[in-house]
Chains A and B, each alone.
Chain A
Amino acid sequence: GENVEQHPSTLSVQEGDSAVIKCTYSDSASNYFPWYKQELGKRPQLIIDIRSNVGEKKDQRIAVTLNKTAKHFSLHITETQPEDSAVYFCAASLISGGYNKLIFGAGTRLAVHP
């Protein structure tokens, strides 16, 4: 089955710096890779996603890159702000039992210091 590894587990940056979170996956059949932001006690919110037919996608200060050959994808946040502080989860799709499931990484706790 699919296994998703996420690094680092914690990340501390100064406001205005960039933050990069990396994930690897094991199932070459995975073709959808979302990133979720979760604030304490709140629901995970989809912030950006990428499908396997593209290598990069950008939305304002957030970008995601995908390397299918290496089974590796990354989240890039530029010009970080204190409100970016949260836990970020990557995920990879897995078709199992006729369903499109998501397998999540362990999460990265991002702290942006003013």
Chain B
Amino acid sequence: GAVVSQHPSRVICKSGTSVKIECRSLDFQATTMFWYRQFPKKSLMLMATSNEGSKATYEQGVEKDKFLINHASLTLSTLTVTSAHPEDSSFYICSANERGRAYEQYFGPGTRLTVT
């Protein structure tokens, strides 16, 4: 149980284009979804948090117009990196809380974004 999928697993895009990453909870309803960014050999940095049907809450220093988050349903959240630049290249990971379980976060497999 508590499986989270992410798509795509890898994406290469050109500078200036936008990329959409999907995060899905496969066998549970996710009350809250989280988006993290992870640089090589570094920790997980929380970017934003969202509930279904409401606007995402962004962490300090994260540009909400650049990293658009849409939490369309209790099983789907999307992160769109707009006008991507090489410095946006990173490993993006989502996680989800299961409804009724306030704390545990289950992570997706991550998406490696490379902007050329």
Which residues of A are at the interface with B, using a C-beta cutoff of 8 A? Answer: 32, 34, 36, 41-46, 49, 51, 89, 93, 97, 99-107, 109
Write the chain A residue with the least CB distance to B60: A1
Q: Which 7 A-B pairs have the closest CB atoms?
A: A32-B103, A43-B107, A99-B49, A43-B109, A97-B57, A104-B44, A104-B43
Are A45 and B107 within 8 A (Cβ)? yes
Point out the residues of chain B lying under 8 angstroms from A36, CB to CB.
107
Contacts A42-B109, A43-B108; A101 near B93 (Cβ below 8 A) = no
A106 to B44 alpha-carbon distance, docked (Å) = 8
- Which of these, B42, B46, B51, B93, contacts A43 with CB under 8 Å? B93
Point out the residues of chain A lying under 8 angstroms from B106, CB to CB.
46
| Nearest CB of B to A10, in Å | 10
* B67 CB–A CB distance under 8 Å: no
Write 21 A-B pairs (CB below 8 A) sorted by A numbering: A34-B103, A36-B107, A41-B112, A43-B4, A43-B108, A43-B109, A44-B44, A44-B93, A46-B104, A46-B105, A49-B103, A97-B49, A97-B57, A99-B49, A99-B57, A100-B102, A102-B34, A104-B43, A104-B44, A106-B43, A107-B43
SS class of chain B's interface: helix, strand, loop or mixed?
Answer: strand
Task: Count how many chain B residues have C-beta atoms less than 8 Å from C-beta atoms of the other chain.
Answer: 23
Q: With A102-B103, A104-B43 given, can you name 13 additional A-B contacts, CB distance below 8 Å? A: A34-B104, A41-B112, A43-B108, A44-B107, A49-B104, A51-B103, A89-B43, A97-B49, A99-B49, A99-B51, A99-B57, A102-B34, A106-B43
Write the chain A residue with the least CB distance to B91: A41
Point out the residues of chain B lying under 8 angstroms from A89, CB to CB.
43-44
Point out the residues of chain B lying under 8 angstroms from A106, CB to CB.
42-43
* B97 CB–A CB distance under 8 Å: yes
Point out the residues of chain B lying under 8 angstroms from A105, CB to CB.
43
Point out the residues of chain B lying under 8 angstroms from A42, CB to CB.
109-110
Point out the residues of chain B lying under 8 angstroms from A49, CB to CB.
103-104
Point out the residues of chain A lying under 8 angstroms from B112, CB to CB.
41
